[in-house]
C-alpha cells in the first residue's frame, strides 16, 4: 500500500467537486449509477467523506477515507488505489 500525507489529502478534498450532482449540473444515468456503486463500495469498507475528486465530460474520479480516516481510496474509471495516510510529507 502506498502512503500519502495528510496535507495532500486535505488539499485533494479542498479542490474536490462534492457529490455527483455538485460535479455535474445534469449527470447522466450512467454517471449516477457509477456514483451509487462508489457509495456502496465506500459503505463496504466502512468509509466516509466520499466526493468527486476530478471530472470531465466523460469520466469522474471519486475518493473517500476509511479505517477511521487512516486510509484513502481513490476510484478511477479503470482501477482503485489505496493509500495509508501519514502525518508527515512523503
d(CA 83, CA 63): 11
Provide the number of structural domains found in the chain.
1
The per-residue pLDDT for 50 is 98
User: Which band of pLDDT confidence, cut at 50, 70 and 90, is reported for residue 88?
Assistant: confident
pLDDT above 80 (res 36)? yes
The pTM score is 0.93
- Specify the residue for cell string 475518493: 63
Is the CB of residue 89 less than 8 Å from the CB of residue 11?
no
Instruction: Give the pLDDT confidence score for residue 89 in this predicted structure.
Output: 65
Q: Which residues pair with 65 in a beta bridge?
A: 48, 72
Q: Round the average pLDDT of the chain to a whole number and report it.
A: 96
Integer-rounded Cα radius of gyration of the chain: 13
The domain in which residue 80 lies consists of 2-86
Amino acid at each position: 500500500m502506498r502512503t500519502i500525507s495528510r496535507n495532500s489529502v486535505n488539499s485533494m478534498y479542498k479542490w474536490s467537486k462534492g457529490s455527483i450532482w455538485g460535479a455535474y449540473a445534469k449527470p447522466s444515468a450512467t454517471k449516477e449509477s457509477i456514483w451509487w456503486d462508489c457509495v456502496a463500495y465506500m459503505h463496504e469498507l466502512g468509509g466516509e467523506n466520499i466526493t468527486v475528486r476530478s471530472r470531465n465530460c466523460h469520466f469522474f474520479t471519486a475518493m473517500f477515507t476509511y479505517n477511521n480516516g487512516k486510509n484513502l481510496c481513490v476510484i478511477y474509471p479503470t482501477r482503485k488505489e489505496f493509500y495509508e495516510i501519514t502525518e508527515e510529507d512523503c
